[in-house]
Structure 1
Amino acid sequence: MSHQDSTSRSKPPPEGEEEATSILNLGEFQNVDALTLSEASLVINAVLAKRTKEGKNTNQNELLPRTLTFLDTFTRFKEKENVEAVERLLNAHPELAKFEKAQLGSLCCEKADEAKTVIPSLADKISDEDLQQLLDEISKFMTN
C-alpha cells in the first residue's frame, strides 16, 4: 500500500496563545464579560426590535438570520426571567471566571463530572457537590 498525501491543507494554529484547558488563558479576553447563548439571543433580538420600532433599517445580511437560527436552536432559556435567574445563580459563584459561567449557562451539563470534562478549568475551583447543586438549580429554568 502506498501512502497518499492529504488533499487538504492543515489548519494554521491560532494567532494568540488563548486556550480554555485546565488553566484558562484567554489573553486579552481574560476578564471580559461573556454572554451565554440565551443572553446573546436576548440582546440581539432586543436591538432588532428597537431598530424596527424606530423605523431604522436592520441592515440584515446573510449572517444575522443564520446567527438567530443558531441561537434559537441552542438557547436553553427562552424567557427573559429565566435568563436573568440563571445569571443570578452563576454570579453567586465569584470563584468562577466569566468565561466559565457563560459556558455553564450555555452548555447546561447534567452532571458535575460532565461539566468538568467539557470545562476543565472548573476542576479545582468548585467541588463536585457544589457544582452539581448549581447545575440542578440551572436545569429548573431550562426551556424544552
Structure 2
Amino acid sequence: MSDQAHAPTARSRVTAPEEDVAEEVLKLGEFQDVDTLTLSEASLVINALMTKRRKDRKERNETDILNATLDYLDAFARFKQKENVEAVERLLSPHKELTKFERAQIGSLCCDSADECKTLIPSLADKISDEDLQELLDEMGKLLSA
C-alpha cells in the first residue's frame, strides 16, 4: 500500500477579479443600476406576456426553460395578486437608501424579522435601522395574508 497522499476530490474555486458579489458591499458590475424585479413582479410580467401571446395567437415558443422558470416563479413568488405586488412596490420604492437589488431581495424573501433580513442581505447592515426595516417587513406581511 502506498503512502502517497490522495488527490483532492474537489478543485479550489477560482474567482474572477471583477466577480459580482452580493455581500456586505454590493458589487454587481454591469448590473449595479439595473432595475430589479421581485419574484412576484417577474411572475406577473411573464404571465401577462404569455397571456397576451395566447390571446393574439402568436407563436409562443414555450421552451423547457421558460416552463421551468414559470414553475419556479409560481412556487416562490410570495404575492400572487397584482394589487399586492403593486402595494409591495409602493412600500419599497420610497427607500432610496437601498439599491434596487436590495429592495427586490426584500420583496422576494419576505423575511419575518429585521435580523433575518439583514442576515440574508448583508449589505443592508448600515443602510436601514432594524426598527424601520421591521416596520417595512410587517407592512409587507399584512399583504401576504390579504
TM over 0.5: yes
Aligned to 1:67: 69
Deviating runs (4+, > 2 A) in structure 1? 1-17
Aligned to 2:93: 91
Distance 1:48 1:84 in 2: 20
Is this contact kept in 2: 1:78–1:143, CA < 8 A? no
- The aligned length equals 144
Deviation at 1:61, TM superposition (A): 1.0
User: Normalization by structure 1: what TM-score?
Assistant: 0.91
Indicate the percent of aligned positions where both proteins have the same amino acid. 60
Deviation at 1:141, TM superposition (A): 1.1
Greater CA radius of gyration, 1 or 2? 2
Cα deviations by residue, 1:3-22 (Å, 9 ceiling, x for unpaired) = 54344555553574211111
Alpha-carbon RMSD across the aligned residues, in angstroms, is 2.0
Deviation at 1:78, TM superposition (A): 0.2
Is this contact kept in 2: 1:75–1:106, CA < 8 A? yes
Which amino acid is the alignment partner of residue 101 of structure 2?
F
Distance 1:143 1:71 in 2: 19
Distance 2:115 2:78 in 1: 20
The residue correspondences of 1:115-126 to structure 2 (distance < 5 A) are 115-126=117-128
User: Normalization by structure 2: what TM-score?
Assistant: 0.90
Aligned to 1:13: 15
